[in-house]
Chain A
Amino acid sequence: MNGFPSARSIAESIRTGERSARSVLDEHLARINERENEVHAFNLVLAEQAASSADEIDRRIARGENPGPLAGVPVALKDNLCTRGIPTTCSSKILQDWKPPYDATVVTRLANAGAVIVGKTNLDEFAMGSSTENSAFGPTRNPLDVTRVPGGSSGGSAAAVAAGFASLSLGSDTGGSIRQPAALCGVVGVKPTYGAVSRLGLIAFASSLDQIGPFTHDVADAALMLEVIAGHDPGDSTSIPQHFPSLAPSLDRGVSGLRIGRITDLPEGADQDVVDAVDAAFDTLAAAGAEIIDVTIPAFTYGLTAYYLIAPAEASSNLARYDGVRFGSRVAASDTNAMYMATRGAGFGPEVKRRIMLGTYALSAGYYDAYYGKALKVRRLMANDFAAAYEHVDVLITPASPSVAFPFGSKTEDPLAMYLCDTYTIPSNLTGHPAMSVPFGTGEHGLPIGVQVLAPAFGEPTMFAVAAELERSAARGEHV
């Protein structure tokens, strides 16, 4: 918690007429004016459009209508979510001026719930990175310490909430891109079950891994926002046609009787302050009536390799569409092939090129079985190991990030060091399971630490019950 009001209380005050949506928006825009220059959370601030949406909410309230659960709540969108007629860049030069011809389903659902879209947030180019330093438009800075990264790839969305620029935001999470920046910025971040939230209009990075999810000030806001965006969408063939469970009843359930797993063979590499916070989380949950059970996930340690073969392989295929023909930039050349090569060579940044190269190599004749094929088998081992663990426990607890927010430039020269940021978040993407990061204490330099709660597919109700318990304990200051 960082002193900003919850989205629930904002919506409630607007619905009751205590405040106008316009005054709430103006307050957020004022904070943007004050600090955006140093934070750079946004690629685009939509002050005028937001003002007209807020005014429309106020008119509907005046007519006695209920604009919805997010009435007048300022929301920021990661700039890989399509917004009709509004630039959507993926923080890439190749899409710099592109305006999508349709809205992502999540954008429509937010608007239908009364949300006011305040802007498009910065990200690592095409969501590839863990620090937002790979943006073609310059890095986002952590609002809690502007000499440090906000995490990534959804760093702009995490920073926008942490700085009070928006009450809620959406990010996307392919290997930890919501949970890790949430941890580093001291906010709540959720990667829902694969298939729970429609990805129509999310610009694809790795289609078997990508999910959209919320950044919020607290766990109850995350539950509310997730309920708004979740649910079947016929426009996304991976969207699961089943009712998304209500989360509100879980928030006050407590953890009594829940079985919480501690992974005894978790890969090492987390800093001591993070390890201590996770230990404190187990103590808190045990004291609140949960049973702590040791489990093993032998494949966990191979997750990084499997992910960094599978995700680039899928990306190399997904990003083939940026060829200078249908959208985005083009570098003119004498024939089509030369145009493709020149356009892509000039339009993509170094990390995107690196991953396209890695993925192309892993899929190429002669190497497919040795790399991509093997990675897919490791993915199966991972799923099997988690399934075995969930026979004994309801949720698992790990760090979200191995460290607190790190200084700019400290990992940019060594891609592998950057990839290690994703050690604890990757497995949930490989399995398709939900996971979330909850702020739980502070570590080095007083910076926030995120504890990760993992659950099996559609285990969000239990996951939120545990996250809410950790949040209550953190609010009581029962740990460092």
Chain B
Amino acid sequence: MSERLTRTAVERVAKLARLDLDDAELDQATERLAGMLHHFADIDALDLSAVEPMTQPYDLVNVLRDDVEQPGLDRQEVLDEAPDAVDGRFGVPPILGLEL
């Protein structure tokens, strides 16, 4: 956990996060994330082997309701706020030829 964060690793994270970052942003992110991770190493001192992870304040339970029709959002009101709408649907640029 103490291994130094590299700029290559930060570029990969930016790609995973779908964030276009310029060179200056990548440099700053590398420096600041490394600083934070260094600070966060304080928990390395703890023996957590027998501790169960806690993801929520309380255990989540499935919430069910009767299958009764209920009003939903107004389609036009939703589409009016979208960057692009085509024939009653969200419009997006081509999805084929994706380079990931």
Contact = CB atoms under 8 A, between A and B. Distances in A.
A323 B18 contact: yes
B20 A342 contact: yes
B74 to A, nearest CB: 6
A370 B1 contact: yes
Contact of B20 (A328, A346, A358): A346
A357 B54 contact: no
Contacts of A195: 57-58
A329 interface: yes
A148 B14 CA distance: 34
A354 B21 CA distance: 11
Given A305-B39, A357-B19, A378-B48, A101 B63 contact: no
B40 A309 contact: yes
A302 B43 contact: yes
A374 B1 CA distance: 11
B33 A361 contact: yes
Interface in B13-33: 13-21, 25, 29, 32-33
Interface centre among A102, A240, A305, A431 (most CB of B within 10 A): A305
Contacts, number: 164
A373 B73 CA distance: 37
Interface centre among A301, A308, A346, A357 (most CB of B within 10 A): A357
B32 A380 contact: no
Interface residues of B, number: 55
Given A375-B43, A379-B54, A381-B46, A328 B83 contact: yes
Interface residues of A, number: 70
B95 A101 contact: no
Given A344-B19, A370-B1, A415 B36 contact: yes
A330 B84 contact: yes
Nearest to A420: B39
B21 A353 contact: yes
A257 interface: no
A357 B65 contact: no
A416 interface: yes
A161 to B, nearest CB: 27
Contacts of A326: 78, 82, 90
B13 A376 contact: no
Given A327-B82, A376-B54, A357 B95 contact: no
A10 to B, nearest CB: 34
A137 interface: no
B29 A353 contact: yes
B8 interface: no
Given A305-B43, A358-B33, A364 B51 contact: no
Interface string A358-372: 101100100000110
B82 to A, nearest CB: 6
Contacts of A99: 81
Interface centre among B15, B57, B100 (most CB of A within 10 A): B57
A305 B40 CA distance: 5
A426 B17 CA distance: 25
Interface in A229-245: 234, 237-238, 240
A339 B29 contact: no
Interface in A286-323: 301-302, 305-306, 308-309, 316, 320, 323
Interface of B: 1, 5, 9-10, 13-21, 25, 29, 32-33, 35-37, 39-40, 42-43, 46, 48, 51-58, 60, 63, 65, 73-74, 77-78, 81-84, 90, 92-100
20 contacts: A98-B81, A101-B74, A208-B57, A238-B60, A301-B42, A316-B17, A325-B83, A330-B83, A341-B19, A344-B18, A354-B33, A360-B16, A361-B9, A378-B43, A379-B53, A381-B48, A381-B51, A383-B54, A432-B56, A432-B58
Interface of A: 98-102, 194-195, 208, 234, 237-238, 240, 301-302, 305-306, 308-309, 316, 320, 323-330, 332-342, 344-346, 348, 350, 353-354, 356-358, 360-361, 364, 370-371, 373-381, 383, 415-416, 431-433, 457
Given A335-B94, A335-B96, A341-B20, 19 more contacts: A98-B81, A102-B73, A194-B58, A323-B18, A325-B82, A327-B83, A330-B84, A335-B97, A337-B99, A344-B19, A348-B19, A354-B29, A357-B10, A357-B29, A374-B1, A378-B48, A380-B51, A381-B51, A432-B57
